[in-house]
Structure 1
Amino acid sequence: MDTSEDPLLPQVHGPIPRDRFHMVYLIFYLLGLGSLAPWNFFITASEYFKYKLRNTTQLDDEYLDPNFETELQAMFESYLVVANTVPNLAFNFITALIIQRVCLKTRMIFSLVLIILMFMVTVSLVEMDTDTWQTTFFSITLVTAVLISSGGSILGASLFGLASLFPSQYVQATMTGQAMGGIFAAVANLVTLAIGSHVIDSGLVFFMFAVFMAVLTLVGYGCLYCLSYSKYHILEIGNTISVDVNSHGDDIGFVVPDHGCSYYSHIFRKIWKEGISVCLVFLVTLSCFPAIASSIVSVVKIPTPWSEKYFSALVCFLLFNCGDWSGRSVAGSIHWPRYGQSSLLLMFSVLRVVFIPLLMFCNVQPRTSHIWFNSDIYPVVFILLLGLTNGYFGTLAMMYGPRRVSADKAESTGAMMSSFLTTGLVSGSLIAILLMKSL
């Protein structure tokens, strides 16, 4: 792995320490994993929430039967989307604006502690009998989802700002780690399907793992202040994180530099192509995944474990996340379009819109329109390519953006790129709702 410095990073305070045994790279991989794994496990536990909100007058094993669906079950997923997307987008922009005013440690520790506390609340509710107070449980769950999403948004924007202080492969490590979080959740879902564990037990495992990952992420972040290579980039490169450094190398609380609209508009003019590229990449992806992709069913007419039990879990979730992870990993060594070819990267991001009609005309059910791709091989190929291109082009854009500005603006640029990414996620989620209604 090449750990050479980006040309825009100033050479100060003598020789640059080395990333011994790639420990800092691995920590950023862990931080990326920990930033998304908790929310991935939250949404993977959808069957647990449907069980908690079931019609209690029916048999327990009928909680997924649409004939007995309760109003709370019907509302839950749409409310959960709002509880995720609105605070996610809002706090990404807020973090980008306050990144020069609130120190890095405060943002990182606050967000992780908030996530840990909210998941502990969620864990405490798993074994409780909530059948007589389902509406209260519904409300508590949505409040915790809002707070988890808010904390995750602050964490994600701060993490990309932090990674932008390092050479670009550390942004790639963060992106790749995030994709691994999706793979973990998909594999856990497959395991619970295979062993047939009770939905309450599955929910407990998911949420306990989410707490474990958040705690591990907090420990990993703390380790960055113990390694000379990461300490150099965080504390010694000019004023890149805009905090004072005392004689012991610790950042001092809050700093309020004079950064107005001109500061952010200057960054925007430098990175707008990379920003729009990553926005479009994730807009197209979220337009297709998971809403459309998870609605594709096998064309096999004879009921089999493949067609009824494993098709969606394997083809939609695991295959996409593996492709996404592979694309992000490849972006660490293969850079094409190259840095400086922003227009070409933007063009490829626009061309990915072809995935929307390709997946819509697979065997998406229910539907009233004609199916063009009436074979299981088509969704396999399309979803794999969707994941690969999402990971590859999204990671390139996130790596190139911070390199276009000077080191003193790198952290703000990383947070701004995170805001572009989140804008794509939210826009794609809204488009997916319209596309599903058009089928």
Structure 2
Amino acid sequence: MLKSLVSIFKPEADDSRPVSSDYEPVSIGDEAQETSLVRVEDRGGKGVYFCFWVLGAGVLLSWNALICTMPLLASYFPEDSPTKASLASWLSTAFCLGNLFFLGSAQRSVGKSSPSPRLHHSLILLFLSSLFITFPTLPILLPILPASLMLPFLLFLTVVLSLATAWLQCAVFALAALWGSQEMLAVMSGQGGIAILVSLVQVGLAVISALHGAASGDEDYSDSQSTLAGIGLWALGSAGAFGCMIAHRWLMRHPDYRIVLAPLTMRGAGLMTGEDGEEQALGKQHGEGATRRLLRKNAALNLAVAYVFVVTLAVFPPVTASITSVQDPPPRLLRPDVFIPLHFLIFNIGDYVGRTYLPAIPALIFTSQPIVLVLSLSRTLFIPLLLICNTPNTNSPIINSDTLFFLIILFFGITNGYIGSLAMILAPSPALNPRVAEEEKDVAGSLAAFCLVAGLAVGSLCSFGVGALVH
């Protein structure tokens, strides 16, 4: 049993040597390309899809745990602290800027080396950092930490999480792009699925705490339950990172794993041997100019996926978490300690539907880059809609209905998941996006992921300005 656990943390040899001539998946010739395409159709399966779903969930696991515990983290600050109201913007900005910086550094090696070692080491860092937040940070350190040190300490932990997430995200999207469009969809679906799971845990604990507090009138019980909920979420994060290690090891033992990584091997061979002009050209395609070339090819798609998350992060959660029930006084299950987690859950359900089910409908797969960009830009309308809900500085909100607010949040989530996934699926797919060559898939996929994170970073910075309008 112990040996089995240790083997999960021990990196497995990444055997990505060229495959046998039976398949010849990467060659400079039409016949070999046809063989490769036939083999690609047989490459997927439920096991592969599920593993990429788990890895996609792991990419956003720490982010979802962080945003769901932001109200708890803010409660550790004194009431008169100016950081208390803006903590969500501080942490989301630190996470997204750190993620952007580390992802940019990781992007340089995409297409030149196997993503597996980076994936494994990032999962170990994610596991250890989540475990540290679970214990002793939440139950022991934060309650006794001086207020002057609390923000730097939380920012440091956030940057560590952003490092692990960035390197994991880069590796997962590169590997999924090499494997196929269904696996890319699995990654996007997993990101939405883990958000629902985290929100369900949070809402369940909030409802239990609210009902018990109403029955006993014990406010201390509510505080202790909030702490336990936070510990539970980060313990879930540790377990999720461990599950991702198992999924990655399963993929490495898949019979087609070496076939998937064969393009990387051929690029390296072309650069090292330089036996003929074609091989040298193959290697040069993945030099420093590859990123600039793909940025031009997928300019509209990359802008679309970035802007989706600029709009989302500008208001979610800094603004949406400040909106409360319009009922005065609100019933016990609509007070802020339940209302706020409930809006997280509704958004995440919509996001999951948009990521998983809408891109699976052929009629909703728009392959025109300008159309995808227009869809992304149209989400700007959600910002004024949310600002006229029951925000703190509003005495008589224009949208004076909790049901209507939850419907807006639902469609906000659906459009976030659908348009974001659509752009991410199109960007690295030669079948849906003829501008991208077969050997550019992994670079195009990780570049789209970089633009996604850039959108998160810009949206987090915008949240300071938008949040100032409601506080």
User: Fold conserved (TM > 0.5)?
Assistant: yes
Partner in structure 2 of residue 305 of structure 1: 332
Q: CA deviation at 1:162?
A: 1.2
Instruction: Select the residue among 383, 392, 408 that pairs with 1:382.
Output: 408
Q: 1:314-325 maps to which residues of 2 (within 5 A)?
A: 314=342, 316-325=343-352
Aligned partners of 2:134 and 2:232 also within 8 Å: no
Instruction: Select the residue among 128, 133, 157 that pairs with 2:140.
Output: 128
Structure 2: gaps (5+ residues): 1-24, 210-223, 271-282
Closer, same or farther: CA 432–74 of 1 in aligned 2, 3 Å: closer
- Verify: 1:392 aligned to 2:418, yes or no: yes
Aligned partners of 2:354 and 2:414 also within 8 Å: yes
Q: CA deviation at 1:132?
A: 4.4
Partner in structure 2 of residue 239 of structure 1: 264
Closer, same or farther: CA 77–289 of 1 in aligned 2, 3 Å: closer
| Whole-Å separation in 1 of the counterparts to 2:37 and 2:297 | 30
Aligned partners of 2:89 and 2:461 also within 8 Å: no
| Whole-Å separation in 2 of the counterparts to 1:76 and 1:193 | 21
Instruction: Report which stretch shifted further, 206-215 or 402-411.
Output: 402-411
Q: CA deviation at 1:220?
A: 0.7
| Whole-Å separation in 2 of the counterparts to 1:37 and 1:14 | 33
- Verify: 1:182 aligned to 2:213, yes or no: no
Aligned partners of 1:288 and 1:355 also within 8 Å: no
Closer, same or farther: CA 244–106 of 1 in aligned 2, 3 Å: farther
Aligned partners of 2:114 and 2:264 also within 8 Å: no
Closer, same or farther: CA 243–216 of 1 in aligned 2, 3 Å: farther
Closer, same or farther: CA 14–329 of 1 in aligned 2, 3 Å: closer
| Whole-Å separation in 2 of the counterparts to 1:376 and 1:198 | 25
Q: 1:125-274 maps to which residues of 2 (within 5 A)?
A: 125=136, 126-128=138-140, 131-134=143-146, 135-136=148-149, 138-196=151-209, 198-233=225-260, 235-236=261-262, 238-239=263-264, 242=267, 258=284, 259-274=286-301
| Whole-Å separation in 2 of the counterparts to 1:312 and 1:207 | 19
Instruction: Select the residue among 381, 389, 392 that pairs with 1:354.
Output: 381
Aligned partners of 2:70 and 2:87 also within 8 Å: no
Closer, same or farther: CA 178–225 of 1 in aligned 2, 3 Å: same
| Whole-Å separation in 2 of the counterparts to 1:362 and 1:130 | 33
Percent sequence identity is 26
- Verify: 1:402 aligned to 2:443, yes or no: no
- Verify: 1:285 aligned to 2:285, yes or no: no
| Whole-Å separation in 2 of the counterparts to 1:182 and 1:436 | 23
Q: CA deviation at 1:137?
A: 5.6
What is the TM-score when the length of structure 1 is the normalising length?
Answer: 0.84
Q: CA deviation at 1:54?
A: 4.7
Instruction: Give a deviation string over 1:205-260, Cα, whole Å, max 9, x none.
Output: 12211111011111111111112244432x33x33795679xxxxxxxxxxx6544
| Whole-Å separation in 2 of the counterparts to 1:397 and 1:375 | 33
| Whole-Å separation in 1 of the counterparts to 2:469 and 2:87 | 22
| Aligned-residue CA RMSD (Å) | 2.9
| Whole-Å separation in 1 of the counterparts to 2:439 and 2:139 | 49
What is the TM-score when the length of structure 2 is the normalising length?
Answer: 0.79
Instruction: Report which stretch shifted further, 93-102 or 156-165.
Output: 93-102
SS of equivalent residue, structure 2 residue 379 = helix
Aligned partners of 1:92 and 1:153 also within 8 Å: yes
Q: CA deviation at 1:168?
A: 1.1
Aligned partners of 2:303 and 2:451 also within 8 Å: yes
Aligned residue type for 1:438: L
Aligned partners of 2:58 and 2:191 also within 8 Å: yes
SS of equivalent residue, structure 2 residue 179 = coil
Instruction: Give a deviation string over 1:155-196, Cα, whole Å, max 9, x none.
Output: 112211111112212111101100112111211111221222
Partner in structure 2 of residue 430 of structure 1: 461
| Whole-Å separation in 1 of the counterparts to 2:296 and 2:55 | 29
Counting helix residues as a fraction of each chain, which structure ranks higher? 2
Closer, same or farther: CA 114–414 of 1 in aligned 2, 3 Å: same
Aligned partners of 2:178 and 2:442 also within 8 Å: yes
Q: CA deviation at 1:130?
A: 5.3
Partner in structure 2 of residue 421 of structure 1: 452
SS of equivalent residue, structure 1 residue 227 = coil
Partner in structure 2 of residue 250 of structure 1: none
Aligned partners of 1:335 and 1:396 also within 8 Å: no
Instruction: Give a deviation string over 1:25-49, Cα, whole Å, max 9, x none.
Output: 1111111111111231133223443
- Verify: 1:114 aligned to 2:125, yes or no: yes
Q: 1:3-152 maps to which residues of 2 (within 5 A)?
A: 10-12=33-35, 16=39, 18-19=42-43, 21-51=45-75, 53-54=76-77, 68-70=79-81, 73=84, 76-125=87-136, 126-128=138-140, 131-134=143-146, 135-136=148-149, 138-152=151-165
SS of equivalent residue, structure 1 residue 290 = coil
SS of equivalent residue, structure 1 residue 402 = coil
Aligned partners of 2:315 and 2:383 also within 8 Å: yes
| Whole-Å separation in 2 of the counterparts to 1:155 and 1:241 | 24
| Whole-Å separation in 1 of the counterparts to 2:152 and 2:331 | 38
Aligned partners of 2:353 and 2:414 also within 8 Å: yes
